[in-house]
Amino acid sequence: MLRPMTNPIQQLLKEEELRQRNGLELIPSENFVSDDVLQALGSVATNKYAEGYPGRRYYGGCSVVDQIEQLAIDRAKALFGAEHVNVQPLSGAPANLAIYSALLEPGDTVLGMDLSHGGHLTHGHPVTFSAKMWNFIRYKTTQTGEIDYNELEQLATEHHPKLILVGYSSYSRDIDYARIQQIADRIGALTMADISHYAAMVTTGLLNNPIPLFDVVMTTTHKTLRGPRGAMILCKEKHAATIDKAVFPGLQGGPHMNNIAGIAVALEEALHTSFTTYAEQILKNAKTLEAGLAQRGYTICFGHTENHLLLLDLTNKGLSGKEAQLALDAAGITVNKNVIPDDPRSPMDPSGIRLGTPALTTRGMKEPEMKRVADFIDRAITHREDSDELTAIKQEVLQFASPFPLWDR
Ligand code: DSN
C-alpha cells in the first residue's frame, strides 16, 4: 500500500510511477529494478560515510557496510569471472574517467569509437573533459555496419595508442574482442571495454565476453544488468591497486553505500538462472521488433541488430529523430532521438531514434507484444501530425501495457 501523499515530491514520484506503468519504455539504457533493489536504495545505508575500501576505511562504524560492499564485490566476481572488481564508481562517466586516469598520463593517445557510429560521449568526444586531457582518435563502422577493424588496425599502427577502447551506446552488433586484443598486443597497447549497455548478455554468454582477454572492463549497473544507478570496474589483478586509487581518493569521496547495497541485490538476482531467460528474451524481442519495423520500411542502421537495441535512420520517412520522439511521447511510447553514422543533422535534432527491449522484457513482454509495439511505433510516426490519433494510440498503449507489471520475476 502506498502511503498518503504528504508533499509535492511524493506526488510527483507517484506521477512518474504512473508514467512508467502506463507507457512503453523503449530507451535501451533504461530498465525497472526489483522491489528488493528499491528497498536497498531507500535504506539507512545512505546515512553512512565509508571512504576507503572494506577493512581499510577512514571512518569508524563501517563494520556493516564493509560486509555489504564485500558481498557486492564477491557477487560481481562470481557473475563476471573477473579477477578484481571496484563497485564504488558513482556512474559510467566517472568510472571511465577513473580508468583513463589510472592507465594513462596526460596527453596519451586513446583509440575510441566515434559517437555517431555508436560509441559514447565519454569515449573521447571533443565536448568532454577527457578529450582535453587525452588525445582521442576515433574509428568508425563500415558500409555493412560492422566496426571497421581494418581502419582500427591502421589507426593503431599509425598513432600507437596507449589504450584501445571498445564498447558502445547505439551500435547494434557484437564485438570481436580477440581481434582487438591481437591488434593491441602487436603495438603494446592496453585494452578497455565499456559493456554498460549489454552486460547482461555478456554474463549469460549471449554476446562475446571481453573479460578473459582485456585489461579493464567497465559496466554501469542500471541498464541490462537491472540494478540501481552506478558502475563497476572489472580488471586484471595487475591493475587492481591503480584502479582502486584512481576511484578513491583520486576522483571520488565517500561511496554511496545504499547504491552499493542495491548493486549487491541486483547482482544476486543476476546470478539466478531466470536472468539467462530474461537476457535471451531481450534478444528475441529486439529481433522481432526489428522485423516488424523493417517490414514497415524502416532503415535499420548497422545492417541489423545482434543485441538489445536498434538505431533507426528516419530519413526515408521524412521526419527527424526529434519529431519522431515527440510524436511517440504523445502516444505513450518513450524513445530517444539519436545521431546516425556521420549524421548530416545536428545532435539536438538528429536523423534517427534509438530503441531497446530490456525494459519491456522485464515487464514480461515477448514476441507477440513486440509485433504490436512495432505497429504502435509505425502508427504514431505515420500520424505524427494528427493529435487525436496520437491520443487514441496512447489510450490503446495504456490498455496494452497494463497487464504487464513493472517488475516480474
Ligand atoms: N545515457 C546512456 C545511454 O542512454 O546510452 C549512456 O550513458
Say what the pLDDT of residue 129 is.
94
pLDDT surpassing 80 at residue 20: yes
Average pLDDT value for residue range 67-78? 98
Cell of residue 78, nine digits: 562470481
pLDDT surpassing 90 at residue 6: no
Contact 145, 173 (CB under 8 A): yes
* Best of 26, 113, 120, 198 for a ligand 1 pocket test (most atoms within 8 Å of beta carbon): 120
Alpha-carbon torsion 123, 126, 132, 134, what sign?
positive
pLDDT surpassing 70 at residue 59: yes
How far, in whole angstroms, is CA 165 from its chain's centroid?
A: 16
Give domain limits for the chain. 37-270, 281-401
Contact 384, 323 (CB under 8 A): yes
pLDDT tens digits for range 321-343:
999 999 999 999 999 999 999 99
* Active-site residue, selected from the candidate residues 191, 220, 334, 361: 220
pTM of the model: 0.96
pLDDT surpassing 70 at residue 148: yes
Average pLDDT, the chain: 97
Look at ligand 1, atom 2, and give the residue with the nearest C-alpha. Answer: 29
* Active-site residue, selected from the candidate residues 21, 30, 36, 51: 51
How far, in whole angstroms, is CA 234 from its chain's centroid?
A: 16
Look up 220 and say whether it is catalytic: yes
pLDDT surpassing 90 at residue 5: no
Report residues whose beta carbon is within 6 angstroms of any ligand 1 atom.
29, 92, 120, 169
How far, in whole angstroms, is CA 328 from its chain's centroid?
A: 22
- The rounded Å distance from CA 114 to ligand 1 centre is 15
Please report, rounded to a whole number, the percentage of residues in the chain having pLDDT higher than 70: 98
User: Rounded to an integer, what distance in angstroms lies between the CA atom of residue 211 and that of residue 328?
Assistant: 38
Please report, rounded to a whole number, the percentage of residues in the chain having pLDDT higher than 90: 97
Look up 51 and say whether it is catalytic: yes
Contact 352, 312 (CB under 8 A): yes
Cell of residue 64, nine digits: 556493516
Say what the pLDDT of residue 22 is.
96
Average pLDDT value for residue range 303-324? 98
Look up 194 and say whether it is catalytic: yes
Say what the pLDDT of residue 16 is.
96
pLDDT surpassing 80 at residue 4: no
Specify the pairing of strand 299-300 against strand 52-53.
Answer: unpaired
Domain 37-270 is of which CATH architecture? Answer: 3-Layer(aba) Sandwich (3.40)
- The rounded Å distance from CA 6 to ligand 1 centre is 33
Question: Which distant-in-sequence residues (6+ apart) come within 8 Å of 186 by Cβ?
Answer: 156
User: Rounded to an integer, what distance in angstroms lies between the CA atom of residue 219 and that of residue 230?
Assistant: 9
Average pLDDT value for residue range 338-353? 97
Cell of residue 105, nine digits: 598520463
Q: Is 207 helix (H, G, I), strand (E, B) or coil?
A: coil
pLDDT tens digits for range 366-407:
999 999 999 999 999 999 999 999 999 999 999 999 999 997
pLDDT surpassing 70 at residue 26: yes
User: Rounded to an integer, what distance in angstroms lies between the CA atom of residue 131 and that of residue 125?
Assistant: 6
Average pLDDT value for residue range 181-195? 98
- Count CB-CB contacts under 10 A for residue 294: 15
pLDDT surpassing 80 at residue 3: no
User: Rounded to an integer, what distance in angstroms lies between the CA atom of residue 393 and that of residue 375?
Assistant: 10
- Give the residue from 401, 304, 332 showing the smallest Cα distance to 360: 401
For domain 281-401, give the CATH superfamily.
Aspartate Aminotransferase, domain 1 (3.90.1150.10)
Say what the pLDDT of residue 364 is.
97
Rounded to a whole number, what is the distance in angstroms from the first to the last CA of the chain?
20
Average pLDDT value for residue range 60-88? 98
* 91 CA closest ligand 1 atom index: 7
Look at ligand 1, atom 6, and give the residue with the nearest C-alpha. Answer: 169
Say what the pLDDT of residue 407 is.
77
* Active-site residue, selected from the candidate residues 194, 215, 269, 323: 194
55 Rama sector, left if φ>0, alpha if ψ -120 to 50, beta otherwise: left
- Give the residue from 118, 232, 234 showing the smallest Cα distance to 174: 118
